[in-house]
Amino acid sequence: MSATTPTRAGAAVRVAGLGVRLPDRVVTNDDLAKVMDTSDEWIRSRTGIRQRHVAAPGEATSDLAAAAARAALDDGGFEVADVAAIVVATTTPDHTVPGTAPLVAARLGSQAAAFDINAACSGFLYGLRLAAGMTATGDGAVLVIGAETLTRIVDPGDRSVAVLFGDGAGAVVLVPDDAASFGPFSLGADGTQPSMLWTAAGGTRRPFDAVVLEEGSHYLTMRGGDVYRNAVARMAQASREVLEQAGLKVSDVDLFIGHQANVRILDAVASRLGLAPERNHVSVDRHGNTSAASIPLALADARDQGRLHDGDTVLLAAFGAGLTWGAGLLSWKGAS
Ligand code: ACO
């Protein structure tokens, strides 16, 4: 088991803009039950998901990312010229080459540094940690975007995964602020069991060909039970680590924003931590699992519901393919 990577506490950084983009088309569980052998009851009882947004034909990750970024800039009253770097966390890039971030930058009219990170469902948390370091050490404002079109890499006929995922994007603008506290973060990875959650083919290990197409081995597959157990254990552990590093108790957490994969996973993490259920924010019921986009989407959802206030201690936690995981704390002093 690999050691996690703790980072120093309390960078002088804050979220100064927050924006999202969800595709217009909403697919309910009943819609899925018309095209595959499933039911609203099965999906809701196993996952808590009621509906998800699905990208339109031709709508790609960069389209959602650029719209969320634009919304975050507008939210904070920024011009694109204010942004020193653009980080896109995604596991569903528009292309293998080039990265998605330069495409997003071009859409925004920026020639700032722009690069992708792929830490699957933990990608936004990894991106926040990276961008906070850049912001705190002099780069100024950095855009961090989590954006995915997961529905493009699942077999639409495979009920064991097709019901779980949705598309969307969320973005934040991080800025330096001497009075703010952002962190600590604890990030970790264990690549010894990649097949727990992966696309077996279509990369350089096994390039796409007619056999791959026939097998459908370019689609996402997972061992659901193993993912479930690891997600609960890793998110709870990373959360404990950051609370301990910060010298906080779980009762100090005003809001828990976990990666929105499944309500049962979120409830289990909250229960292990001893977190009051009302502090566990849930948006997976309306978004499905949007991987790297899920945390910024949930943050914006919480803000829309009036659940984020200046000074609140927010605990973030994520787990995803890799395996990757992490947690982070921030004292909310943000766009409101
Ligand atoms: N509708 C109806 N029946 C289904 C469906 C479906 N959509 N999918 C599977 N089933 C069936 C199975 O075929 C199986 O039938 P059988 O008993 O006749 O063989 C039965 O339901 C039970 O299947 P299980 O896999 O045991 O169901 P389980 O209760 O474990 O729930 C689930 C499956 C929801 C995937 C669960 O394992 C889970 O939540 N895992 C976490 C996975 C996850 O969230 N992944 C997202 C990506 S990773 C991340 O973001 C962290």
What is the spatial distance between Cα 28 and Cα 331, in angstroms, rounded to a whole number?
Answer: 35
Give the residue, out of 30, 262, 284, with the most ligand 1 atoms within 8 A of its beta carbon, to mutate for a pocket test: 262
112 in any annotated domain: yes
What is the spatial distance between Cα 238 and Cα 263, in angstroms, rounded to a whole number?
Answer: 19
Ligand 1 near 325 CB (within 6 A): no
Q: Which atom of ligand 1 is nearest to the CA of 47?
A: 34
Lookup result for tokens 């959802």:
301
Out of 53, 218, 230, 259, the active site residue is 259
**Is 53 tagged catalytic?**
no
**Is 121 tagged catalytic?**
yes
pLDDT of residue 8: 46
pLDDT of residue 6: 47
Lookup result for tokens 């604890």:
186
What is the spatial distance between Cα 201 and Cα 215, in angstroms, rounded to a whole number?
Answer: 10
Give the residue, out of 125, 155, 160, 266, with the most ligand 1 atoms within 8 A of its beta carbon, to mutate for a pocket test: 160
Give the residue, out of 46, 220, 325, with the most ligand 1 atoms within 8 A of its beta carbon, to mutate for a pocket test: 46
308 in any annotated domain: yes
If you measure from the C-alpha of residue 42 to the centroid of ligand 1, how many angstroms do you get, rounded to a whole number? 9
Vertex 332 angle, CA 328 and 334, to 5°: 125
109 in any annotated domain: yes
Ligand 1 near 222 CB (within 6 A): yes
105 in any annotated domain: yes
Vertex 303 angle, CA 317 and 13, to 5°: 60
What is the spatial distance between Cα 195 and Cα 197, in angstroms, rounded to a whole number?
Answer: 5
pLDDT of residue 4: 54
336 in any annotated domain: no
3-state secondary structure of 49: coil
3-state secondary structure of 19: strand
Lookup result for tokens 């977190």:
275
pLDDT tens-place values along the chain, 336 residues long: 335 554 445 688 999 999 999 999 999 999 999 999 999 999 999 999 999 999 999 999 999 999 999 999 999 999 999 999 999 999 999 999 999 999 999 999 999 999 999 999 999 999 999 999 999 998 899 999 999 999 999 999 999 999 999 999 999 999 999 888 899 999 999 999 999 999 999 999 999 999 999 999 999 999 999 999 999 999 999 999 999 999 999 999 999 999 999 999 999 999 999 999 999 999 999 999 999 999 999 999 999 999 999 999 999 999 999 999 999 999 998 664
Q: Which atom of ligand 1 is nearest to the CA of 262?
A: 44
pLDDT of residue 330: 93
pLDDT of residue 333: 80
**Is 118 tagged catalytic?**
no
Task: Specify the number of domains making up the chain.
Answer: 1
**Which range of residues forms the domain containing residue 55?**
1-331
User: Contact 198/219 with Cβ under 8 angstroms?
Assistant: no
User: Contact 39/46 with Cβ under 8 angstroms?
Assistant: no
User: Contact 18/302 with Cβ under 8 angstroms?
Assistant: no
pLDDT of residue 11: 81
pLDDT of residue 5: 52
Q: Which atom of ligand 1 is nearest to the CA of 159?
A: 7
Q: Which atom of ligand 1 is nearest to the CA of 289?
A: 50
CATH of the domain at 143: 3.40.47.10
